[in-house]
């Protein structure tokens, strides 16, 4: 068949493009403003309706008006047109809008390329396995749409999908080679927009009543740890975050001053481990107390918090080692001591009086600490995520009236009492514990493991960790938050699972996710160097790498080309059947000479083997019919005839 | 040298009747504009993936790059190994579109889709060949000049499957199409007396005797000139008496009857128009051109004979 070529799009093509545009834009509905999703959805529906009714596409002025409207909406919503979210919103609108001016094949190609581009933008928000699978499906369908557009109306849906699948399968080896060997550059090439890493959860740099108990209600993973040896016992797993020294009566804050030198003395050999941090947009690395060795671009600040030079905006792997038993700054500088004794004047008089009474009984810091812990252990204090609201003298109210609180209440009250009694003390935020995944040996620490504890300074011993929660709810340290809290607390369902099979399932899923994060998403310049040295290319520079890459790609291309172009001539099925019939004859001592035509052979058979002749005649007729007759592909008759040979 | 190279690259090695199979040396491939756009988009995406450190972004870009490469191979495959055999061209009039039929044979087990054949971009033809079949298509070409129109270099191209690459090959089968002069529609000249009688024409219809001609099977026996026929009965068929002015009148279409001020092509056009008009009227007619005479006759074969004579005339 042949027709005059037209560059216009045939009628069957637009549904493919609507489908691929839908696939490429739909996942953005999860995080973009609703009006934007509605707007692009309406545009898509309008385009589909016009196609259905064979209506005329809208004029240029209407489209320009719509673009201006959409830009204005985005400007109002995001206050910019160039940020990450605003850019993605604009792309979504453009891709939907282009469907309304889809006339020629060229427009369709532009739409497909826009769709491919849109697929990339999903990775700003998630790079999880489901996203990866969804996008693989989308790539497949968008590619099928591309094939449908350039192939025209002769392409039926199923072969088109199959063809797209073949192409993607052939593209896969290229992807693997490029992924492994393409020279990786770490870090941004230039400044990222303000909103590049928004929407990350984690500890904040202040602590007020309720700040940690809010965080605990998220089951999201904060970081994963793999210990080089046996993991330490759970009670010792204090992951140190921000240390808060300033108190204004309600909120605890970091001391903003310059960092000071610190002296750590490891009392036992340190344990080394590798932490994979999820992005949390802060600088702390959440090392185990107390960090001894740190990666190159990070350092300890004066309060023993390991800080990275840049904030952790993406999942990041760091190798660390920590001494679980240590002595830290036994001779602390006086300004720090003063700072950690300061209290705002005039608040919580009952607490001050209590602390004063302790000091008069026994002024040694250890005795005061013990007094406070006895207070929490004995006096019907309870551990809850839903404490009552507290007023101005919050700590007095908490210590003498409500007596219900979460770890930040206990840590804050404890530090207040210590300072009031003349013992330097401060609040430490971080995580405590974690859950070992038996399948891959990674310790998983979630936001629900967020914790706050206290640190007091004693002359000669330095800073000593005291965790008041450990006496209020000992289960918190031994078994984790889910066991420490009474039933009915608003914990995420994920960590409350008690059925074994569900827990195993969750472990399995998280192990798969972790493997994905570690090996696929976590493939960075460092890993690439390791791989290259294992391949016998140690410290290859980019030129060498490019050469290797080009060679490998050329080889792959040659293989794909050979595979694609190889054409095995198929034997004609009719002559195959004929050969089978001849083999039949040979068994009856009738040999067909190479020059003998079927008819000549038949004549000979009729004279020598009259019994065989009628059956053979049918074979000859069917064979000639199949090979030279009007209706080709009439093989069934021949097959039947051959089968009926006696 | 250049001519030999051209011959090597584009000409059919055979006499133009055998099928021809497209080999890899004759196929060229380059990215299309969409392909360049795609590559640019990939570059921007790669920069984005590096800047935001998106591992899956890298993977997506590399997968799409691989897709482009695989698509290139498939585009090449879409015409590689295609067999082309030329067909027979039907003559056309100048100004019409000549069709050069080609048969495309696909002996592979996958179809070949969206092939385009063109000499002039405006007359591009698309074709598709299913698996293990052949299909007939035709290259279209505007016939501007009477005479033999040889098929120039044909561009057989495809952008299937992704539209990112354009693979093409030049074919030049030995094919030619006969182009008749463009017929100029003017009234027929008055039937002139044939040279058999030398008399002037008359308008008396069947009454005025105008001459003799050979008898056709459809002629009535009443018109047979028995006396005249008897003179040479041995080697001639029966003769028919001809009368001027009637439906079956005899025409002689003379080169000299056309306006001498016109140029050759216009005069041939006039003659062609006359041939067509006379044929449509069912008249018998003859044609005389400088150096060429076509005897009086009628019927489709005669018309084609006259038209061919006009197409190839060299007055």
ipTM given for this complex: 0.77
pLDDT at position A589 is: 82
As given in the structure block, the two tokens for residue A586 are: 């040979």
- With a pLDDT cut of 90, the percent of chain A lying above it is 22
Q: Does the CA dihedral A77-A79-A84-A87 come out positive or negative?
A: positive
- What are the residues facing A319 on neighbouring strands? A274
Residue A284 is given by DSSP the state B
**B74: chain A residues, CB-CB within 8 Å:** 167, 564
The rounded distance, in Å, linking the Cα atoms of B181 and B312 is 9
| Nearest-CA distance A75 → chain B (Å) | 22
Q: Is A71 one of the catalytic residues?
A: no
Tell me how close the Cα of A145 comes to any Cα of chain B, in angstroms: 9
Count other C-beta atoms under 10 Å from residue A123's C-beta.
Answer: 22
Looking at the structure, tell me whether residues B68 and B144 fall in a common domain: yes
Tokens for A72? 């204005």
Q: Cβ(B103)–Cβ(B84) under 8 Å?
A: yes
pLDDT of residue A571 exceeding 80, the answer is no
Parallel/antiparallel/unpaired status of strands B92-93 and B176-180 = parallel
Q: What angle do CA A538, A544, A550 make, to 5 degrees?
A: 125
The vertex-B105 CA angle with B70 and B72, nearest 5°, equals 10
B87/B45 same-domain check: yes
Q: Is B124 helix (H, G, I), strand (E, B) or coil?
A: coil
Test B71 with A521 for CB contact under 8 angstroms.
no
Helices marked H in A461-612 — which ranges? 469-472, 475-478, 481-484, 493-496, 500-515, 525-534, 542-565, 573-587, 598-608
Q: Is A451 designated active site?
A: yes
Q: Would you call A5 and B124 a contact, using CB atoms and an 8 Å cutoff?
A: yes
pLDDT tens for residues A597-622? Answer: 888 888 888 888 888 888 888 888 88
Name the CA dihedral angle for A15, A19, A25, A31, rounded to a multiple of 10 degrees: 130
Is B108 part of any domain? yes
pLDDT of residue B202: 40
Q: Contact B29/B167 with Cβ under 8 angstroms?
A: yes
Distance CA A389, CA A386 (A): 9
CB B156 within 8 A of CB B171: yes
Q: Are residues B168 and B236 in the same domain?
A: no
CA A564 to chain centre: 35
Higher pLDDT, A8 or A130: A130
Tokens coding A120 = 């990339």
Does residue B50 sit in the same domain as residue B172?
A: yes
Residue with the two structure tokens 């904040």: A204
From the CB of residue A436, how many other CB atoms can be counted at a distance below 10 Å? 15
Q: Do A174 and B66 make contact, defined as CB atoms within 8 angstroms?
A: yes
Which entry of A28, A122, A255, A451 is annotated as an active-site residue?
A451
Rg of chain A, C-alpha, whole Å: 37
Statement to judge: residues B263 and B131 lie in one domain: no
pLDDT tens for residues A214-234?
788 777 888 999 998 888 988
Are the CB atoms for B309 and B303 separated by under 8 Å?
no
Q: Which one of B179, B197, B217 terminates a domain?
A: B179
Contacts of A570 in chain B (CB under 8 A): 109, 132
pLDDT digits 0-9 by tens, A411-427: 999 999 999 998 999 99
In a domain, B204, yes or no: no
Q: Does the pLDDT of residue A42 top 70, yes or no?
A: yes
Parent domain of B33:
2-179
Q: How crowded is residue A429: how many other Cβ atoms within 10 Å of its Cβ?
A: 30
A10 is catalytic: no
The catalytic position among A440, A467, A507, A592 is: A467
**Three-class secondary structure of residue A316 per DSSP:** strand
Tokens for A107?
A: 């427009």
Q: For tokens 């035509």, name the residue.
A: A597
Residues of chain A positioned with their CB less than 8 A from the CB of B132: 570
Q: Is B184 contained in some domain?
A: no
Residue A97 backbone class (left: φ over 0; alpha: ψ -120 to 50; beta: rest) = alpha
Report the mean per-residue pLDDT for chain A.
85
Comparing alpha-carbon positions, the chain A residue that sits nearest to B108 is: A567
Choosing from B157, B179, B201, the residue where a domain stops is: B179
Phi/psi-derived region of residue A507, left when phi > 0, alpha when psi is between -120 and 50, beta in every other case: alpha
Reported as a pLDDT band with limits 50, 70 and 90, residue A520 is confident
- Asked whether residue B159 falls in the same domain as residue B288, the answer is no
Which residues touch A501 (CB under 8 Å, ≥6 apart)? none
Where are the alpha helices (H) located in A127-282, listed in sequence order?
129-151, 157-181, 211-216
**What is the predicted pLDDT for the residue at B216?**
63
Per-residue pLDDT for A540 more than 80? no
Q: How far is it between the farthest Cα atoms of chain A? A: 134
Same domain assignment for residues B86 and B231: no
Whether the per-residue pLDDT at A76 is higher than 60: the answer is yes
d(CA A44, CA B301): 62
Q: What's the confidence (pLDDT) of residue A390?
A: 77
pTM: 0.76
CA-to-CA distance for A229 and B269, rounded, in angstroms?
Answer: 101
Q: Say whether both B279 and B167 belong to one domain.
A: no
Q: Do B61 and B163 fall within a single domain?
A: yes
Residue with tokens 């529609």: B185
Distances (CA, A) of A478 to A320, A484, A599: 24, 9, 95
Q: Which residues of A130-164 are buried (b: 16+ CB within 10 A; e: fewer)?
A: eebebbeebbbbbbbbbbbbbbbebbeeebbbebb
Predicted pLDDT of residue B215:
66
B162:A131 CB<8 A: no
Residue A479, pLDDT > 50, answer yes
C-alpha distances out from residue B21 to A405, A531, A546, B25, B140, Å = 86, 47, 38, 11, 21
* Contact call for A174 and B55, based on CB within 8 A: no
pLDDT above 90 for A142: yes
Q: Which residues of B touch A132 (CB under 8 A)?
A: 56
Start-to-end C-alpha separation, chain A: 45
Q: What are phi and psi of B279, to 5 degrees?
A: -70, -40
Residue after which a domain boundary falls, among B162, B179, B196:
B179
Average pLDDT by consecutive 10-residue portion of chain B (315 residues)? Answer: 69 58 85 94 92 89 95 92 88 92 87 90 88 87 91 90 91 88 80 45 49 64 70 67 56 84 88 88 86 87 91 85
Q: How many other CB atoms sit within 10 Å of the CB of residue B256?
A: 9
Same domain, B166 and B215: no
Number of structural domains (chain B) is 2
A189–B50 C-beta distance less than 8 A? yes
| Residues B26, B166 within the same domain | yes
């Amino acid at each position: 068949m042949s027709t005059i070529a037209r560059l216009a799009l045939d009628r069957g093509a637009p549904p493919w493009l609507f489908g691929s545009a839908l696939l490429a834009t739909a996942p953005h509905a999860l995080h973009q403003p609703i009006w934007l999703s509605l707007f692009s959805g309406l545009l898509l529906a309008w385009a589909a309706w016009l196609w259905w009714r064979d209506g005329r596409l809208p004029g240029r002025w209407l489209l320009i008006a719509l673009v201006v409207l959409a830009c204005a909406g985005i400007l109002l919503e995001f206050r910019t047109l160039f940020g990450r979210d605003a850019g993605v919103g604009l792309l979504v609108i453009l891709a939907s809008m282009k469907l309304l001016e889809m006339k020629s094949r060229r427009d369709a190609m532009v739409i497909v390329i826009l769709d491919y581009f849109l697929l990339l933008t999903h990775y700003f928000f998630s790079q999880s396995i489901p996203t990866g699978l969804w996008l693989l499906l989308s790539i497949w369908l968008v590619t099928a749409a591309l094939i449908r557009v350039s192939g025209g109306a002769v392409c039926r849906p199923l072969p088109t999908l199959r063809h797209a699948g073949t192409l993607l399968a052939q593209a896969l080896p290229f992807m693997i080679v490029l992924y492994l060997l393409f020279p990786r550059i770490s870090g941004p090439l230039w400044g990222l927009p303000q909103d590049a890493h928004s929407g990350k959860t984690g500890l904040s740099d202040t602590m007020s009543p309720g700040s940690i108990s809010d965080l605990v209600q998220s089951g999201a993973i904060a970081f994963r740890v793999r210990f080089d040896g046996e993991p330490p016992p759970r009670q010792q797993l204090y992951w140190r975050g921000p240390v808060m020294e300033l108190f204004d009566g309600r909120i605890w804050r970091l001391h903003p001053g310059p960092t000071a030198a610190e002296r750590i003395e490891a009392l036992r050999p340190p344990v080394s481990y590798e932490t994979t941090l999820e992005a949390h947009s802060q600088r702390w690395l959440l090392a185990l107390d107390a960090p001894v060795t740190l990666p190159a671009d990070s350092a300890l600040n004066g309060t023993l918090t390991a800080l990275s030079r840049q904030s952790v905006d993406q999942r990041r792997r760091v190798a660390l080692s920590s001494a679980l038993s240590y002595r830290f700054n036994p001779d602390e500088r006086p300004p720090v001591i003063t700072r950690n004794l300061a209290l705002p004047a005039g608040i919580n008089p009952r607490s001050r009086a209590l602390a004063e009474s302790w000091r008069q009984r026994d002024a040694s810091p250890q005795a005061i600490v013990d007094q406070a812990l006895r207070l929490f252990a004995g006096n019907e204090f309870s551990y809850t995520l839903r404490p009552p609201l507290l007023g101005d003298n919050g700590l007095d109210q908490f210590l003498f009236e409500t007596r219900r609180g979460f770890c930040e209440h206990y840590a804050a009250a404890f530090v207040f009492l210590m300072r009031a009694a003349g013992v330097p003390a401060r609040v430490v935020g971080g995580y405590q514990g974690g859950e070992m995944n038996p399948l891959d040996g990674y310790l998983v620490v979630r936001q629900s493991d967020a914790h706050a504890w206290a640190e007091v300074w004693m002359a000669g011993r330095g800073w000593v960790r005291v965790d008041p929660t450990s006496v209020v709810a000992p289960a918190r340290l031994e078994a984790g938050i889910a066991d420490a809290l009474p039933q009915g607390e608003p914990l995420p369902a994920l960590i409350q699972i008690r059925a074994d099979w569900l827990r195993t399932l969750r472990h399995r899923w998280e192990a798969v996710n972790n493997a994905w994060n570690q090996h696929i998403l976590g493939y960075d310049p460092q890993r690439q160097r390791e791989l290259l040295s294992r391949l016998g290319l140690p410290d290859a520079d980019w030129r060498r790498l490019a050469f290797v890459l080009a060679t490998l790609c050329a080889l792959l291309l040659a293989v794909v080309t050979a595979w694609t172009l190889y054409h095995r001539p198929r034997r004609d099925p009719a002559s195959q059947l004929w050969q089978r019939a001849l083999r039949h004859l040979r068994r009856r001592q009738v040999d067909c000479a190479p020059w003998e035509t079927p008819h000549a052979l038949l004549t000979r058979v009729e004279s020598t083997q009259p019994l065989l002749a009628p059956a053979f005649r049918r074979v000859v007729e069917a064979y000639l019919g199949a090979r030279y007759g009007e209706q080709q592909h009439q093989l069934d008759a021949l097959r039947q005839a051959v089968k009926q040979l006696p | 040298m250049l001519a030999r190279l051209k011959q090597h690259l584009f000409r059919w090695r055979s006499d133009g009747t055998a099928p021809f199979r497209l080999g890899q040396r004759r196929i060229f491939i380059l990215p299309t504009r969409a392909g360049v756009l795609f590559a640019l988009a990939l570059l921007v995406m790669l920069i984005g993936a590096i800047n935001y450190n998106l591992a899956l972004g890298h993977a997506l870009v590399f997968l799409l790059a691989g897709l482009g490469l695989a698509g290139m191979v498939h585009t090449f495959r879409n015409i590689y190994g295609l067999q082309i055999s030329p067909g027979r061209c039907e003559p056309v009039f100048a100004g019409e579109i000549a069709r050069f039929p080609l048969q495309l044979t696909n002996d592979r087990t996958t179809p070949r889709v969206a092939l385009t054949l063109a000499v002039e971009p405006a007359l591009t033809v698309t074709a598709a060949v299913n698996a293990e079949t052949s299909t007939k298509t035709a290259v279209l070409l505007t016939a501007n000049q009477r005479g033999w129109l040889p098929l120039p270099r044909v561009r057989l191209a495809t952008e299937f499957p992704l539209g990112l690459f354009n693979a093409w090959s030049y074919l030049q089968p030995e094919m030619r199409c006969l182009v008749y002069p463009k017929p100029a529609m003017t009234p027929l000249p008055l039937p002139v007396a044939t040279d058999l009688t030398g008399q002037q024409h008359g308008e008396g219809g069947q009454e005025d005797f105008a001459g003799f001609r050979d008898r056709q099977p459809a002629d009535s026996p009443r018109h047979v000139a028995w006396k005249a026929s008897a003179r040479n009965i041995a080697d001639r068929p029966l003769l028919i008496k001809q009368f001027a002015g009637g439906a079956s009148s005899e025409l002689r279409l003379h080169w000299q009857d056309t306006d001498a001020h016109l140029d050759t092509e216009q005069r041939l056009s006039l003659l062609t128009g006359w041939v067509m008009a006379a044929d449509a009227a069912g008249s018998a007619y003859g044609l005389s051109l400088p150096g060429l005479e076509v005897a009086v006759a009628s019927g489709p074969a005669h018309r084609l004979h006259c038209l061919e004579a006009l197409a190839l005339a060299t007055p």
